[in-house]
Amino acid sequence: MDILKRNNVKVFGEGNTTMVFAHGYGCDQNVWQDIINTFATGYRVVSFDYVGAGLSDLSAYDPARYSTLEGYTQDILEIYEALGLTDTILVAHSVSSMIGLLAGIKRPDYFRNIVFVGPSPRYLNDGEYFGGFEKEDLDGLFEMMDNNYLGWSRALAPSIMGNAERPELGERLTNSFCATDPEIAKQFARVTFLSDNRADLPHLTVPSLTLQCSNDMIAPIAVGEYMNRNMQGNTLVVMDATGHCPHMSAPGETIKAIKDYLN
């Protein structure tokens, strides 16, 4: 199988160091369009779509392979192998943060730094751990998704985006959700929201940055603080940006935070 075709991999830009951009749930690589060109002047840039998203090869989707985050982790590692990448900077949004974490644990030589944007190692509350969701919250979310995925997308995407005063942002995320294959999206949602990667955090040796939005319904500030406490070599930056997608709602602040960290 052609890995680069499977994941609709794009390579551009100039530089000795490669930056890889990994999109979050319900999105594709187009969500990076407001920040990615800024980095293409100093870096070789790689973006891609997970199988089931964007212009990926839908025929490559295997429900068994993608029943856990490990399947998506393998996708990233295979892209790296196909391009011969090492010592890169990975910028990973939302669920891609944990996918990138697992990849970094398996192959730390592939990564110089990992930038986590709105990460969460567990979305469910658990004892003293606050992830932001109770089980009944997620049960309701999955039921609504199963009954009417497009309606669920239109209802929830603007809330995930936040920034209600800028409805065009919510519409952009809604369109991204609606463009995702519904059956794949339903399984990926369960894999995403029911995952628990808390025990994996201490095993990452790659230096990392956590970009935490100041008001995020998907990954509250307590989650960013938990990430920072339980990882070695992690830097936490709480942004002024609100919502779950600062690369779309506050691209300037996101670019500055990444550049400040890398410099």
User: What CATH number corresponds to the domain at position 107?
Assistant: 3.40.50.1820
pTM of the model: 0.96
Does residue 144 belong to any structural domain of this protein?
no
User: What pLDDT tens digit does each residue of the chain (263 aa) get?
Assistant: 899 999 999 999 999 999 999 999 989 999 999 999 999 999 999 999 999 999 999 999 999 999 999 999 999 999 999 999 999 999 999 999 999 999 999 999 999 999 999 999 999 999 999 999 999 999 999 999 999 988 888 888 888 898 888 889 889 888 888 778 889 999 999 999 999 999 999 999 999 999 999 999 999 999 999 999 999 999 999 999 999 999 999 999 999 999 999 99
Tell whether 215 is covered by a domain.
Answer: yes
Give the Cα separation of 91 and 49 in Å (integer): 14
Domain total in the chain = 1
Closest CA to 30 of 54, 51, 61, 52: 54
Range of the domain at 100: 3-122+197-262
The verdict on residue 220 lying in a domain is yes
- Torsion angle defined by CA atoms of residues 236, 257, 105 and 126, in that order, rounded to the nearest 10 degrees: 40
For residue 49, count other CB atoms closer than 10 A to its CB: 23
Tell whether 239 is covered by a domain: yes
Q: C-alpha 28: how far from its chain's center?
A: 10
pLDDT for res 72? 98
The sheet carrying 208-215 orders its strands as 10-13, 44-47, 18-22, 88-93, 111-117, 208-215, 234-242
Is 131 part of any domain?
A: no
Residue 153 domain flag: no
Q: Is residue 213 part of a domain?
A: yes
Per-residue pLDDT at 159:
86
pLDDT value of position 1: 81
> Which region, left, alpha or beta, applies to residue 204 given φ > 0 means left and ψ of -120 to 50 means alpha?
beta
The C-alpha atoms of residue 95 and residue 190 are separated, in whole angstroms, by 11
For residue 228, is it within any domain? yes
Residues assigned a catalytic role: 94, 216, 244
